[in-house]
Amino acid sequence: MINNQKVGAVIVAAGSGERMGGVDKMLAPLGGRTVLAWVVGVFQECPAIDEIAVVLGEHNIEAGQRLLAGFSKVIAVCRGGERRQDSVLAGINHLGGCRWLVIHDGARPLLTADLITDGLAAAAESGAAACAVPVTDTIKLAGDDDYVRETLSRKRLWAVQTPQVFRSDIITVAYRQAQAEFTDDASLVEKAGYRVKLYKGSYGNIKITTPAHLALAGVLLGERGG
């Protein structure tokens, strides 16, 4: 709850994980638990969160239901869709009574409760907020021929992560209008004409995409004493 308004979380974990070399990253072991249990655990322990919908690939639904049976805030474990946004919508559909929606990639198990509450605070002012860090690499735009067309100024570039937090009416309108494919929810909301506020994320909030990320997550968790 924030200001007596219900807060729901959608955790999307229905991606194909093509770059994991055959390892199912959601159920992969990480510091004595699975990746999915770490993520859901952070939302379960965060006092601001009331309800959680977890979106999984068809093949993981049964295992997910078993794994998540002990998490009292999980009200739905449902099947995802072809595109990320289809999976998010499947989760949102279970959280009808929530005024605020926190959307998070299941592949980011190192988020903290602070990232959730900071997002809720930013969204309380703006209606829409996304967690992000300044880019540390130099980013170039290239053509189809791989020749550089432009080097972008790094000063204003941010690498956007999740959690992303939205007032429910805003994300509902944005989803109703969405036509193209989007890689995050903020871009869908921007496309619908709303302003999105960036708030400070964490370089440790990595997205597990390759086996190397899983190893790195283990090291980072170890440093935290997890």
**Binding residues vs ligand C5P (CB under 6 A):** 12-15, 55, 80-84, 87, 105-107, 183, 207
H or E segment to which residue 33 belongs: strand 33-34
CB of 151 to ligand C5P, least distance (A): 25
* Closest CB to ligand C5P: residue number: 15
- Give the nearer residue to ligand C5P in terms of CB position, either 12 or 169: 12
Helix (H, G, I), strand (E, B) or coil at 78: strand
Strand partners, 104: 11
Contact 111, 163 (CB under 8 A): yes
- Give the nearer residue to ligand C5P in terms of CB position, either 5 or 24: 24
- Give the nearer residue to ligand C5P in terms of CB position, either 1 or 203: 203
As a residue count, the chain comes to: 226
- Give the nearer residue to ligand C5P in terms of CB position, either 121 or 220: 220
CB of 186 to ligand C5P, least distance (A): 13
Radius of gyration over alpha carbons of the chain, in Å?
17
- Give the nearer residue to ligand C5P in terms of CB position, either 84 or 167: 84
CB of 145 to ligand C5P, least distance (A): 26
Q: Which of 37, 43, 6, 21 is nearest to 163 (CA)?
A: 43
CB of 3 to ligand C5P, least distance (A): 29
CB of 48 to ligand C5P, least distance (A): 21
Whole-number Å distance between alpha carbons of 135 and 16 = 26
* Amino acid in position 100: W
Whole-number Å distance between alpha carbons of 6 and 110 = 24
Helix (H, G, I), strand (E, B) or coil at 198: strand
